[in-house]
């Protein structure tokens, strides 16, 4: 009897095991990819960067926070976090590569500053201090580029961040001095290459404090995720407002006779216009291409003595 009972229980265990394997196989079957994650329709990207070690920061909190948000999906966008070295020349090379690789809708660079609240950096100056990077280098020219403006303003929604971050228990203040080091250089370089590549990402820079002064690593990750959420919601609201405004524009066209009259007027104006009435583009070379400069060329000249943050360009003193 005991032998038959053993056979009975063995049969029961086999049946249970087979059912379990069958259920597991069903769970492992790949689901149909959603439109947002399929290769033909990838999720839009939010690019976050933090810096690697430098000075007393053997573990840079900006990278600890950004790394903790990597891979998250926020408002339908995938977060991609990248660590940047505290190195002028490598940042100059890496920033445009990341723009081309990810075509991000939003770019937020993070760096470490002093104790205290999060700092929303309002502007990036075309000016560099004299402190060496981790490779022992700093651009001697004192400027980021020669063909850029003296200041780029942040493309992140300042009002919304300064209002909503504190409401989420993440104190944030505005700053107009990003430090004239690799942080501000990265901020300026980002928007400079955005313009060169014809991109309009929401881009800017936020400084964080060392860990636990006041935010722990866990809270810092949450703060960065919250900042991303605020920026994306503002972008969505702006897009909806633009589409509503476009829908409200009347699409009626003038009658045929009015179109013909307008065309005749345009032809007459073109006939009477001479070379002296032309409007040649400025800031271009003889072949029509725009002039450009960069860290590898523009930064090898004399040191600029202008006041940091000024809108005045450094005077030119002949060929360089």
Q: Assign residue 37 a region: left if phi > 0, alpha if psi is -120 to 50, beta otherwise?
A: alpha
**What's the rounded Cα separation, in Å, for the pair 163 and 156?**
13
Q: How far apart are CA 61 and CA 83, in angstroms?
A: 11
Question: How many angstroms separate the CA atoms of 146 and 294, rounded?
Answer: 7
Task: Go through the chain and tell me how many residues it has.
Answer: 320
Query: Which among 109, 121, 146, 184 is annotated as catalytic?
Result: 121
207 catalytically annotated: yes
Distance CA 178, CA 111 (A): 10
Q: Are 148 and 194 in contact (CB under 8 A)?
A: no
The partner residues of 125 in beta bridges, in order of sequence, read 151
121 is catalytic: yes
Q: Is 14 a catalytic residue?
A: no
Catalytic residue among 77, 109, 138, 207: 207
Residue 120 CA to residue 161 CA, distance in Å, equals: 8
CA dist., res. 51 & res. 81, Å (int): 11
- Do residues 94 and 84 lie in contact, with contact meaning Cβ atoms separated by under 8 Å? yes
Distance of alpha carbon 229 from alpha carbon 227, whole angstroms? 5
CA 36 remoteness from chain centre: 21
Q: Which of 109, 138, 183, 184 is catalytic?
A: 183
Catalytic positions, please?
121, 183, 207
């Amino acid at each position: 009897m005991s032998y038959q009972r053993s056979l009975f229980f063995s049969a029961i265990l086999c049946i249970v095991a087979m059912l379990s394997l069958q259920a597991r196989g069903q769970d492992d079957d790949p689901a149909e990819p959603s439109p947002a994650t399929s290769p033909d329709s990838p999720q839009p990207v939010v690019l976050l960067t933090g810096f690697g070690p430098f000075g007393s920061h053997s573990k840079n909190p900006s990278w600890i926070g950004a790394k903790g948000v990597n891979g998250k999906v926020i408002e339908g966008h995938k977060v991609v976090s990248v660590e940047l070295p505290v190195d002028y020349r490598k940042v100059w090379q890496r920033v445009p590569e990341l723009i081309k690789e990810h075509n991000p809708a939003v770019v937020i660079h993070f760096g470490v500053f002093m104790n205290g609240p999060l700092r929303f950096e309002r502007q990036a100056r075309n000016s560099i201090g004299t402190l060496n990077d981790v490779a022992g280098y700093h651009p001697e020219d004192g400027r980021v580029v020669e063909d850029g403006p003296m200041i780029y303003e942040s493309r992140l929604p300042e009002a919304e961040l300064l209002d909503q971050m504190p409401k989420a228990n993440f104190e944030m203040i505005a700053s107009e001095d990003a430090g004239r080091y690799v942080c501000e250089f990265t901020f300026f370089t980002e928007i400079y290459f955005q313009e060169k590549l014809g991109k309009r990402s929401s881009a800017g820079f936020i400084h964080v404090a060392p860990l636990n002064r006041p935010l722990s690593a866990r809270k810092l990750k949450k703060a960065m995720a919250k900042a991303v959420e605020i920026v994306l919601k503002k972008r969505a609201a702006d897009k909806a407002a633009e589409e509503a405004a476009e829908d409200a524009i009347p699409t009626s066209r003038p009658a045929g006779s009015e179109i013909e009259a307008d065309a005749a007027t345009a032809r007459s104006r073109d006939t009477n216009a001479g070379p002296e009435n032309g409007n040649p583009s400025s800031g271009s070379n003889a072949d029509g291409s725009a002039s450009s400069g960069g860290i590898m060329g523009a930064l090898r000249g004399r040191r600029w003595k202008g006041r940091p943050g000024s809108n005045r360009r450094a005077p030119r003193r002949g060929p360089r």
